Amino acid sequence: MQNFLLLLSYLIGSISFIVGLKMLSHPDTARKGNLYAAVGMSIAIFATIFLYTDESGQHLGNYLWIFGGLIIGTAIGTMMAKKVQMTAMPQMVSLFNGMGGACAAIISIVEFKHLMHQQSSHDIGGSITQLLSTIIESVTTTPSNPKLTLLTILVGLVIGTVSFFGSMIAFGKLNGNINDKTLPAQQVVNIGLLLVIVGLIVVMLTGTTGLSLPVLFWSLFAISALYGILFVMPIGGADMPVVISLLNSFTGVAAACGGFLYHNPVMLTGGILVGSAGTILTILMCKAMNRSLTNVIVGAFGGNKTGGAATESGGAYKEISMSDTAVLMAYSKRVVIVPGYGLAVAQAQHTCHELEKVLEEKGVELTYAIHPVAGRMPGHMNVLLAEADVPYEKLKEMEEINPEFAQTDVVLILGANDVVNPAAKNDPSSPIYGMPILEVENATHVIVNKRSMKPGYAGIENALFYQPKTSMLFGDAKKVLQDLVSELKGM
């Protein structure tokens, strides 16, 4: 009876994940979908605590520790999630993702100790052919074959560890604590490390060295950690969301490894679901940037930064005064605002909405052009603008708005840079070459608000700023918008 209830709870959990993900893909049902998944998760967790029994029918113990952990985790998690600024969202997702990866890695470590206890390392030796036959045999006979268990533990350890260290680096980079760094021959080093990881796993399963298993195990852990760090380290620029999404699906696979280890259906479905959905999401993001996944990982962004970086610095640009900007915008028919990370950092989304209202009172038609990766994560800018009550209909996607720039009088760029850089279209040597951009240079006037002439996140110069139709409006996005609004109101 108890086992039936446990399995039923797991079934409910799995269904809630599927339904939740499905509902998350429609704006109207998204919030409910998230709630369903959360409820399903809670059911699965509490069913495990109270109903789970091992082979000998023994219930779980250590309730004090379990609930202590749950309470501490819930308190810290809720506090962090409630306090985080909307602009810091990508880091937060990366951080939570890392926690999941670490959790999977720790499970592997404990289960490895467990396995070592049961089995003397001598038993887990043998040749590769023996290994394969044992694996195949083992699954048919008993679920707890040591080699298969070891394989699952090792895969969980590697993926969980890579995911944790990778996510921490991604967190540090997005938070501005860590800069992009590229080792000489980075790709060779990375591929080498990957081969070492695979080699170590094979050696451990076949037992072909004199080294003890724990030594190999901890080396595997260390090399996985190093790989996680080096894998994310050189990736920068607009590619960061892709990496987070990729690490997200890694953690999903690590969770699925746990599902295999415990023959737990809800961990398996949940993990695989996120693994495949995360992969698809990663590919969709790459498509949005017109880059292939290998290109991102092996990538031009970090790999050969010297290409376009040094070219065309300096040059003449012209500034525009606040009142000129106000006049120019007030007497335009169509204005398009291109929001970018600068707007997000300055927390200027509300002031931006105010500007929109003032201009509309003056009969100006105003829309927002949203680049797929504006704000560093797909959809991030939509979240920020929704926070400021900007209606959906005003947000136009790139494909929709690009043909309309030719009929636009003024484009106001707020803290965006790389997504409007014409080098992506016409300079094959540029690191961002091939990324689709907002074709703002087709508009009559382009006004760029930036804090300084410093290059954007990808670290490259933007020729747009030196074009004759472009004017620069320096200052913090929020301050500039406030001044602009009061200027317009006074007209």
Q: How far apart are the first and last CA of the chain?
A: 76
**One residue of 204, 220, 235, 256 binding other proteins per CB under 8 A:** 256
Per CB under 8 A, 466 contacts other proteins = no
Residue 198 burial by CB count (10 A; 0-12/13-18/19+): exposed, middle or buried?
exposed
Which of the ranges 10-18, 206-214, 227-235, 301-309 carries the binding residues for other proteins, by CB under 8 A? 10-18
Q: Which of 296, 343, 377, 419 binds other proteins (CB under 8 A)?
A: 377
Residue 338 backbone phi and psi in degrees, to 5: -110, 100
* Tokens describing residue 340: 């970018």
Residue 368 near residue 398 (C-beta atoms within 8 A): no
Tokens 């091939």: give the residue. Answer: 434
Stretch that binds other proteins, among 218-226, 249-257, 309-317, 328-336 (CB under 8 A): 249-257
Does 303 bind other proteins (CB under 8 A)? Our answer is no
Residues assigned a catalytic role: 418
Q: Which residue shows structure tokens 């020729």?
A: 463
Residues 6+ apart with CB under 8 A from 9: 43, 44, 46, 47, 51
Which parts of 29-58 interact with other proteins (CB under 8 A)? 30-31, 33-35, 37-38, 41, 44-45, 48-49, 52, 54
Query: Among 2, 3, 118, 133, which residue sits at the site for other proteins (rule: CB under 8 A)?
Result: 133
Helix (H, G, I), strand (E, B) or coil at 32: helix
The residue within the footprint of other proteins, chosen from 189, 272, 327, 453 (CB under 8 A), is 272
d(CA 275, CA 287): 18
Helix (H) or strand (E) holding 244: helix 240-261
Smallest distance from other proteins to CB 425, Å? 21
Among 2, 3, 8, 70, binds other proteins (CB under 8 A): 70
CB of 295 to other proteins, least distance (A): 20
| Nearest distance, CB of residue 444 and other proteins, angstroms | 28
Give residues with Cβ within 8 angstroms of 301, minimum separation 6: 234, 235, 236, 237, 238, 239, 431, 432, 458
Q: Does 345 bind other proteins (CB under 8 A)?
A: no
Q: Does residue 459 belong to the site contacting other proteins (CB under 8 A)?
A: no
Under the criterion CB under 8 A, does residue 274 sit at the interface with other proteins?
Answer: yes
Out of 7, 11, 15, 84, the residue judged to bind other proteins by CB under 8 A: 84
Answer for the pair 274, 251: CB distance below 8 angstroms, yes or no: yes
In the complex with other proteins, which residue's Cβ is closer, 246 or 328?
Answer: 246
Nearer to other proteins, 276 or 292 (CB): 276
**Residue 352 touching other proteins (CB under 8 A):** no
